[in-house]
Structure 1
Amino acid sequence: MKLETKYLGLTLPHPFILGASPLASNLDRIRHAEDAGVAAITLHSLFEEQVLRYEAGMEAHVYAHEDSFSEAGSYFTKDVDYHYGPEEYLTHISRAKEAVDVPIIASLNGTHLGGWSYFAKEIARAGADALELNLYYLPRVSDESAEIVESRLEEIVKSVSESVDLPIAVKLSPFFTSLAHVARRLENAGAKALVLFNRFYQPDINIEELEPTPTLKLSDSSELLLRLRWLAVLFGRYQMDLACTGGVHNRDDALKAIMSGADVLQLVSELLLNGVDRIGVIRREVENWMEEMEYESLAQMRGSMSYCRAPNPEAIERGNYLRILQSWEPGNTLTETQ
């Protein structure tokens, strides 16, 4: 059984990789991930805010930029204690490369040009095999049009891709008027892969203290449906690779994502909940199922349920929508299908 796949120019033995998370925050965890069988490791992100602090100092960062960003760090307080500063992050990349044999994918997180190109070059020098740009942004002002937002993201990708020889993956949110059009713009700007999707960590509200409260809810399999939809739509339309992140927790989730068009699967929440060794368990279960179904390779299965393999995807999409709405009756529990 051939589970081999390609992602960002890397030939991987299988599609299961570690997504950006605390699971790669130190060398012991990185070695454990390799021992558990991950095909590649995505490091936790270096945030734009950290780069700004590095370049301009804490005071300039706090007063000039404190309301400018919308990451899970949207509601970071002024005294956020980042795990690594920029220089420590570069050192971490170098040490990770020395510690393991699997590819190391670095991650930059932000929404403005700033020092991204400079740090992309430093990340390349540190030895990273690829770079993931986490473009996390939530427009909040009425005069900021979709064109302005998309052009900014395109400019970031173009600037970074022209600065380094590293293959660039772009991690997106699903909240675009025309995601397929944005994907084309990012591909033209130099992106080699799309990672679907970023998760917005919505703050709660403390009604007594009258302040936002950071919250974290790990994903579950129900979040996979949105990923399946867009993997299936985007597969076969571009030269970019497709990564699925969010909602893959078991064998069936993995199979659905691959059938929809994913080249790799980034696992985080399942591993945080049940340990990194789960990645090997799920991989073996996928391999066993494929053997039972007489698949010869992952490539044979990938994209088999995508829209480009359907004779009339628009009719299927609309028909499924109507069928779901018209079949509902009080007391029924409906399950959305792709």
Structure 2
Amino acid sequence: MDLQTTYLGLKLKHPIVASSSPISRSLDGIKRMEDAGAAAITLFSLFEEQIRFENESFDFLSEAGTESFAESLSYFPAVADYRVGPDSYLELIRKASAACQVPIIASLNGTTNAGWTEYARLMAEAGAKAIELNVYYIPADLETTGRDVEQRYVDVIQAVRAAVSVPVAVKLNPFFSAFGDMAKRCVGAGADGLVLFNRFYQPDFDLEELEVVPDLELSSAGEIRLPLLWIAVLHGRLKCSLAATRGVETGKEVIKYVMAGADAVMTTSALLRNGVGHLQTLLNQTREWMERHNYDSIAQMKGSMSQLKVADPSAFERANYIKVLQSYKSPYAT
């Protein structure tokens, strides 16, 4: 059975990739994920704010575009609170690239196209085989238009693309009015791959202290539907790699994403819940399912359930919405 796939031009032994997580903060954690079977490893994110702190440029951040960074100004801890800063991040890339056989993908997280994007070049020089770009931006300013938000993404992609020769993937959120057009714009700006989808971690309220507090909930398999839809729609229509990230709990989610058209399937929450050994479980479950259903390769499965391949393409559009609402039966309905 041939489980190989190609993601961002990188040949992977299978499609299951360890996505950005706290496990990758140390070389030991990275090695444990490789030993458990990860086909590639995306490191935890280095934030634009961290780089600005390191460059002693936080005054600029405070004075220019504070409407864009209101949340980070309140929540972002001092760089001393981070065990791994920008320089240490580069050193970790060097050590991981030397110690691991699988590709190491660096992760940059930011919202502007200012000088911090040049840091992508240093990541590539340190040994990163690709850059995953995470543009995490909440347009809380009521004067900001949808096109302004989209242009911000395009500007960041172009800045990073200009800085590096290695492949660049963009981790997107689904909250665009016309996601297909936005995906095309990202690829046109230089993205070699799209990672679908980023999760927005909205704050919660502490009712005792009357404070807004950060709160993280790990994803679950029920969240697979939205990325599954858009990977199936985009497969075969864009000249870029597609990666799925959200809700990967078992081999079933891996198989569904590959059938939709994903080149790589990324997981974090399942590893945080079950330990890095769960990577091997995901791989074994995928292989066993393929054997039972007489699939010889990942290539044979990939995109077989995409919108371009299914018998009823309308199932991905309004027809599915109507069928779902009409088919649901409740014992309490009169």
TM bin (shorter chain): over 0.9
Partner of 1:227: 227
Structure 1 spans left out of the alignment, 5+ residues: 334-338
Who is 2:138 aligned against? Answer: 138
How far is the alpha carbon of 1:56 from its aligned partner? 3.3
Aligned to 1:76: 75
Q: How does 1:75-154 map to 2 (within 5 A)?
A: 76-77=75-76, 79=78, 81-154=81-154
Name the structure 1 match of 2:292. Answer: 292
Maintained 8 Å contact 1:196/1:227: yes
* Range 205-214 or range 127-136, more displaced: 205-214
TM-score by length of 1: 0.93
1:35 corresponding residue in structure 2: 35
- Are the aligned partners of 2:304 and 2:310 in contact in 1 as well (CA < 8 Å)? no
Q: Which residue of 1 aligns with 2:269?
A: 269
Residue matched to 2:217 = 217
Amino acid across the alignment from 2:184: R
> Structure 1 pair 332/125, CA: closer, same or farther in 2 (3 Å)?
farther
After superposition, the Cα gap between the structure-2 partners of 1:273 and 1:66, relative to the gap in structure 1 and judged at 3 Å, is farther
Asked if the contact 1:52–1:115 (Cα under 8 Å) also holds between the matched residues in 2, the reply is: no
The offset of 1:243, in angstroms, is 0.5
Aligned AA (2:322): L
Q: What is the deviation of 1:75?
A: 5.2
Aligned residue pairs, count: 332
Distance, in Å, in 2 between the alignment partners of 1:92 and 1:328 is 51
- Write the letter of the residue equivalent to 2:139: P
Q: Say whether the 8 Å CA contact 2:233–2:316 is kept in structure 1.
A: no
What's the C-alpha RMSD, in Å, of the aligned pairs? 2.0
Query: Could you tell me how far apart the structure 2 residues matched to 1:78 and 1:271 are?
Result: 26
Q: Counterpart of 1:308 in 2: which secondary structure? A: coil
Aligned to 1:51: 51
1:115 CA displacement: 2.3
The amino acid that maps onto 2:4 is E
Mapped partners of 1:3, 1:327: distance in 2 = 37
Moved more, 141-150 or 165-174: 141-150
Shift of 1:312: 5.0
Give deviations 1:241-261, integer Å, cap 9, x for gaps: 110111011011111111111
Equivalent residue for 1:176? 176
| Equivalent pair of 1:232/1:303 in contact (CA under 8 Å) | yes
Equivalent position amino acid for 2:236 in 1: G
Identity of aligned residues (%): 45
Structure 1 residue 315: deviation in Å? 6.0
Closer, same or farther in 2 for the Cα pair 1:166/1:138, shift >3 Å? same
* 1:283 positional shift: 0.7
In structure 1, C-alpha distance between the alignment counterparts of 2:332 and 2:255, rounded to whole Å: 27
What secondary structure does 1:215 align onto? coil
Letter of the 2:116 partner, please give it: W
The more displaced of 168-177 and 307-316 is 307-316
Which residue type is aligned with residue 200 of structure 1? F
Deviations 1:6-47 (A, max 9, x none): 011100000011100111110111111111011111000110
Does 2:244 align with 1:248? no
Deviates more, 1:163-172 or 1:150-159: 150-159
CA distance in 2: counterparts of 1:332 and 1:303, whole angstroms: 39
Compute the displacement of 1:325 (Å): 1.1
* Unaligned runs of at least 5 residues, structure 2: none
1:202 deviation in Å? 1.1
